[in-house]
Amino acid sequence: MPSVAGSSPDIRARQIAAKLAEAFGQPVIVENRTGANGLIAAREAAKAPPDGHTLFLALINNALIDVISPDPCCRLGSELIPVSRFSMTPYLVLVNADVPAQTLQELVALARAKPDTVTLASHGPGSLPNLLGAWLKAEWGAHLLEVPYKGVNSEIPDLQSGQVMSAFIVPQVVLGPLKAGKLRALAVTARERLAILPDVPTTAEAGLPGLEAIVWNGIFVPAGTPASVVERLHRELVRAYNAPEVREQLRAGGSYAAADTPEEFAAFVRSEKEKWGRLSREAGIKAQ
């Protein structure tokens, strides 16, 4: 697991770990290996024996690393091979409740009028929030000042306190602060509104068509893992994804399970690398 305990990807991993433990009749332990935007965990997983006993819950950031600064130790689709995609979740465009912008267009206008004064939490060069910030600058002239954070969701306390003004965060981990009025959701980065937040417009409805992004994760195993092992892992993972309580937990957090085949997942990862690679090249983004 490349993110910290309690983060949204970690919650996802623990949702299915118990299901896998039951299916295989042995403990399944979630081991958090954070750092380097997911690269540390990927490296550890890739060098594990290819016997099906080590799984890697890759995040979209791992695919972005492959585009911007590929490391031959642990590329998705090469040193790590896909088993099945798990959850698909759009971002919310969030601001601290004290930020004067009441809409997404007002936030963009504020960032254009006062360049580099509106702060945006990111996870460093090449992370998805970094790319979305670059898109806002390139397409709308919104000069946001990025504040990098090491871990997924680690920016939430600072966003609530006003230390950082805006962020792209998945709904699951901010429903409480939203309800309490500490944060304001300006838009959802999807083509349709979320059932759990029906009053939050899509980015297109909010006046910024094209600002779409889905945060995804999925299981990979070390290259060389036998096809029969991958097949059994896929079967049990899909069963876990489709368990009624897991599906309900996903829905309640604004997500859904993709539960695709290894081949479908591989094609999806390739398309994501192409999409975000094109944006990173246009924006001149390079890993540091």
Give the 3-state secondary structure of residue 93: strand
Shared-domain flag, residues 96 and 179: yes
Residue at 206 is within a domain: no
At which of 188, 206, 229 does a domain end?
Answer: 188
Residue at 226 is within a domain: yes
Shared-domain flag, residues 113 and 162: yes
At which of 173, 188, 203 does a domain end?
Answer: 188
| CA diameter of the chain | 60
Shared-domain flag, residues 19 and 56: yes
Shared-domain flag, residues 107 and 181: yes
pLDDT beyond 70 at 216: yes
CA 219, chain centre distance (Å): 14
Shared-domain flag, residues 22 and 48: yes
**Residues composing the chain:** 288
Q: How far apart are CA 138 and CA 116, in angstroms?
A: 14
The DSSP code sequence of 135-196 is HHHHHH----EEEE-SSTTTTHHHHHHTSS-EEEE-GGGTHHHHHTTSEEEEEESSSS-BTT
Residue at 136 is within a domain: yes
Shared-domain flag, residues 170 and 223: no
pLDDT tens figures, 111-157:
999 999 999 999 888 889 999 999 999 899 999 999 998 777 889 99
pLDDT beyond 70 at 31: yes
Count Cα atoms within 13 angstroms, Cβ side, for 124.
18
pLDDT beyond 60 at 288: no
Residue at 193 is within a domain: no
| Contact by Cβ (8 Å): 180, 87 | no
Per-residue pLDDT, averaged over 262-277, amounts to: 95
Domain of residue 134: give its range: 92-188
Shared-domain flag, residues 20 and 61: yes
pLDDT-based confidence at residue 286 (cuts at 50, 70, 90): low
Shared-domain flag, residues 73 and 109: no
74: CATH: 3.40.190.150
pLDDT beyond 90 at 237: yes
Give 49's DSSP letter.
-
CA 257, chain centre distance (Å): 14
**Which pLDDT does position 100 carry in this prediction?**
95
57-61, 125-129, 170-174, 255-259: segment of lowest average pLDDT: 125-129
Shared-domain flag, residues 130 and 166: yes
pLDDT tens figures, 37-48:
789 999 999 999
Ramachandran sector of residue 136 (left: φ over 0; alpha: ψ -120 to 50; beta: rest): alpha
At which of 145, 170, 188 does a domain end?
Answer: 188
Tokens of 100: 């004067």
Residue at 3 is within a domain: no
Residue 102: name the closest of 174, 254, 255, 207 by CA.
Answer: 207
Residue 38: name the closest of 16, 55, 60, 69 by CA.
Answer: 60
Residue at 159 is within a domain: yes
**Which pLDDT does position 281 carry in this prediction?**
85
pLDDT-based confidence at residue 207 (cuts at 50, 70, 90): very high
Shared-domain flag, residues 107 and 163: yes
Tokens of 48: 């594990």
**Which pLDDT does position 284 carry in this prediction?**
77
**Which pLDDT does position 8 carry in this prediction?**
82
Shared-domain flag, residues 38 and 101: no
Shared-domain flag, residues 83 and 35: yes
**Which pLDDT does position 240 carry in this prediction?**
96
Residue at 208 is within a domain: no
**Which pLDDT does position 6 carry in this prediction?**
85
Q: What is the mean pLDDT of the chain?
A: 94
Residue at 246 is within a domain: yes
Per-residue pLDDT, averaged over 41-69, amounts to: 95
pLDDT tens figures, 180-191:
999 999 999 999
143: CATH: 3.40.190.10
Torsions phi, psi for 122 (to 5 deg): -140, 180
For residue 21, CA distances in Å to 67, 219, 225 come to 34, 15, 19
Q: How many other C-beta atoms are found inside a 10 Å radius of the C-beta of residue 158?
A: 17
* Domain count for the chain: 2
Per-residue pLDDT, averaged over 50-68, amounts to: 94
**Which pLDDT does position 97 carry in this prediction?**
97
